[in-house]
A and B are shown apart, each in its own frame.
Chain A
């Protein structure tokens, strides 16, 4: 079996949950010195396949070989010993251990040596994390970075990165790519999962496309066009509604006047009915803090916030819900979703206060089913636990929750994190339709392309301040990036 000895190889793997097959005979091989892109729509089975490779899930049939050794029975420990590490889609953080402990836990070696190595990686990636901080207080992007560092420090020969860039801004992504290139040059083999074709083009050599648990394409990346990849992945992408005209009315619904709070200061903004306002910036610029302050999850330190002309001294989530302001949080797993509850409960979660005291489950199920159809949520029915959905489908449930509330003002924090190309187009169309119907929308995103495509007006934040506002034809990825990064250089 010399071919297997070379790297990781998966042979005819089948895997199902509760009798429903997720992987249907997948074969794949990864060689050292190669970056292998794995693409596929939401729920195609990418994460499941990776969990099987990393020994975290048992395959029903088929085999996984790492360096010629069969991984049987499935064991994460054995996979580690054979030099394979999986950086999972949702960062697994030990909330009460320090960042340092989180990263090095389970790695043998002296503290001094580990620290030195860790600092090397952190410098290379250009990240600054307080290693003594308790990891529970980390923002989602930092959690992702902790997971990536965890993978790097383990000296793996094979690294699997399951959507590592979904929470990162272009700069961190760039640094990650540089690190990946160096590691691959040193003989590492990497599987890289992403929904962003541009990233895949930038870094990968080989591509495999998974669709409904079956491999539908594999080969060199240079031999297939973007359209070819998308066509292999999904049936059809909805035509992008052109969003050339802004629907912004004159009426202001949300007005911030020199608002200050935790992590930002002196932010003045006015949001009009029907307008799509983007808030761009790098990780840590204070965007999420701003949004959470507006919806009453953090205290206001200075300035004022007016909703619908009414001044709100200290908003609370409850008053916001009453006033029709809905927030889609960035961290879907811990803040957004009730993971162990069925989809239907989650879809109704934001409108609890509007439901009658006694309610029948039927209406709720119907509501959920409508959204499942509209958003193409891949599931086994409205009663399936959200926990058992793929990452992208969880994001869609979160979106459905916001839409069900028929908001007047909608704040979307990274609305398309982990969402596939087709669903992304769907979500964009929904956002446009909402705006056309008069909803005022704020989109917070680290993906500058997304901001450019979606927004009528873009406010760029850096270091807790607004560093500029772009409007109309001025909105471009380049201009956004300039504003987002320039402020940093000057500080």
Chain B
């Protein structure tokens, strides 16, 4: 890794340590947790968080934000379901769903870039719009809210249970995605521009960079991967529901923020988000397997997160995390 990222890596190595500690502690409480199979397969319950969190990292690094992906997941699942319902063959329907995801991203980008309104509000609007669209679409073929659209061919529902390189399919997809996006971010011109645009819009403009195009692609990427997450979830649960992505919203934002990306743009890495996703995901799984009731586990995971982060902060003596707070950079303490 290049030296410029060493500083960030320090934070990421902290996350890795935290992840190891977490797994060991849960293993001590419940040895079943440590079994490779359970470590591998429990990821299927939270992989979708990572699948959207990774491209969300790109959006956030480029200085944007998108909350509508939570609806895009459901919308694309419904698009897939409806297409299959109308007799399209499954691969074409899948392609259509991915296309729909990309279009959602494009739509967000178009509105944000033409109106110059802060992306948070715009995507909040499209969060409603897309979920509304999903509800209307699924209503149009008479599918109810809870059971959703089902009855997919066997081979589609098997996808989520297949293996790739010895890994469960969802996890494999996440890892491939991470490598792909990680390489894009670190080793391509586009990736560099994502950082620069997020670091200083003005300086990027003065250097003749295609600001809008860079931003647009980050939103499109997020849309596409949200669609993929929708398909995986549909395959995993065997039915396409409008609310498939609702749960991913907060968790994905948490993963990105915990992974070291700054909501003010210009900072963050794919690796950090990936580790943070595992951290958050295993925390939920581990608490569940340790027999903690769901009521307490929410409080506990919030508290643990805070204790870990502020513990590290206090142990560092100085504001170790200050790089996440852009304004504190000058602090010459």
A contact set with B: CB distance below 8 Å: 17, 51, 56-58, 297, 316-318, 320-322, 327, 329, 334-342, 344-345, 349-350, 352-353, 355-361, 365, 381, 383, 387, 401
Contacts and interface: CB of A to CB of B under 8 A. Distances in A.
Nearest to B197: A338
A56 B204 CA distance: 31
A111 to B, nearest CB: 29
B116 interface: no
Contact of B203 (A338, A361, A381): A338
26 contacts: A51-B332, A56-B332, A318-B209, A320-B208, A321-B208, A334-B202, A338-B196, A339-B329, A340-B199, A341-B195, A341-B196, A341-B199, A345-B192, A345-B196, A352-B207, A352-B208, A353-B209, A357-B188, A358-B189, A359-B188, A359-B189, A359-B192, A360-B187, A383-B2, A387-B329, A401-B207
B326 A337 contact: no
A341 B326 CA distance: 12
A361 B332 CA distance: 29
Interface in B237-256: none
A350 B208 contact: yes
A344 B4 contact: yes
A352 B189 contact: yes
B207 A337 contact: no
Given A317-B209, A357-B188, A361-B2, 12 more contacts: A58-B333, A297-B205, A316-B208, A321-B208, A327-B206, A339-B199, A345-B196, A350-B208, A356-B189, A381-B3, A383-B2, A383-B3
A160 to B, nearest CB: 16
Interface residues of B, number: 30
A345 B206 contact: no
Contacts of B2: 361, 365, 383
A383 B4 CA distance: 5
Nearest to B202: A335
Contacts of B189: 352, 355-359
Contacts of A337: 200, 203
Contacts of B276: none
Nearest to B262: A340
Contact of A358 (B188, B193, B267, B330): B188
B272 interface: no
A278 B248 CA distance: 58
B266 interface: yes
* Residue among B187, B193, B200, B210 with max Cβ neighbours from chain A (10 Å): B200
Given A56-B332, A334-B202, A349 B188 contact: no
Contacts of B210: 318
* Residue among A320, A337, A339 with max Cβ neighbours from chain B (10 Å): A339
A17 to B, nearest CB: 8
Contacts of B202: 334-335
Interface string B1-13: 0111010000000
B4 A345 contact: yes
A358 B210 CA distance: 17
A344 B195 CA distance: 13
A350 B326 contact: no
A355 B209 CA distance: 12
Contacts of B205: 297, 317
B207 A349 contact: yes
B332 A336 contact: no
B190 interface: yes
A381 B4 CA distance: 10
Contacts of B200: 334, 337-339
A340 B330 CA distance: 10
A338 to B, nearest CB: 4
Given A340-B266, A359-B189, A297 B203 contact: no
A338 B199 contact: yes
A56 B332 CA distance: 7
B60 to A, nearest CB: 15
* Residue among B190, B205, B208 with max Cβ neighbours from chain A (10 Å): B208
B206 to A, nearest CB: 5
Contacts of A334: 200, 202-203
Nearest to A351: B207
| A-B residue pairs, 5 tightest by C-beta | A321-B208, A317-B208, A57-B332, A342-B4, A383-B4
Contacts of A327: 206
A336 B204 CA distance: 8
A360 B187 CA distance: 7
Contact of A352 (B6, B193, B199, B332): B193
A329 B332 contact: no
Interface in B132-152: none
Nearest to A388: B329
Contacts of A356: 189
